[in-house]
């Protein structure tokens, strides 16, 4: 008999349960929602100011310096300077140098070795 009495006395009244539920699920007003959310800041990537500009000391700058030499550079020289694999270098030359940076890349075979330089 005690179990029935305790169960009956621990039950919440419907009015109390409803008021707590509506407070928890109620949508905040637009002003409240705006106050709680952090303000979005506009982030932009720093773009080079001129064609072929790169941050000093970056791998892009190292590769550009090699490509600007009179004799240019081959894949092995670029790989040694950057610790990149050959396929990564070729992808970088195609994607970054020619497409994104818009630079003209010249390629020629000298003594059976492919050399690249900026034109």
Average pLDDT of the chain to the nearest whole number = 80
pTM above 0.85, yes or no: no
Specify the pLDDT at position 105.
94
User: According to CATH, what is the number of the domain 59-118?
Assistant: 1.10.10
Residue 107, SS3? strand
Calpha distance 56→52 (Å, rounded) = 12
Residues (pLDDT < 70) of the chain are: 1-25, 37-52
Residues 6+ apart with CB under 8 A from 78: 63, 66, 84, 89
Domain boundaries, the chain: 59-118
């Amino acid at each position: 008999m005690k179990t029935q009495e305790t169960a009956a006395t621990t039950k919440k009244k419907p009015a109390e349960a409803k008021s707590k539920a509506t407070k928890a699920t109620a949508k905040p007003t637009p002003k409240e929602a705006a106050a709680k959310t952090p303000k979005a800041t506009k982030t932009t990537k720093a773009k080079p100011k001129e064609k072929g500009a790169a941050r000093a000391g970056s791998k892009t700058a190292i590769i550009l310096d090699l490509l600007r030499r009179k004799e240019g550079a081959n894949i092995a020289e670029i790989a040694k300077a950057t610790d990149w694999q050959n396929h990564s270098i070729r992808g970088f030359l195609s994607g970054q140098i020619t497409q994104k940076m818009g630079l003209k890349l010249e390629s020629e075979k000298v003594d059976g070795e492919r050399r690249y330089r900026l034109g």
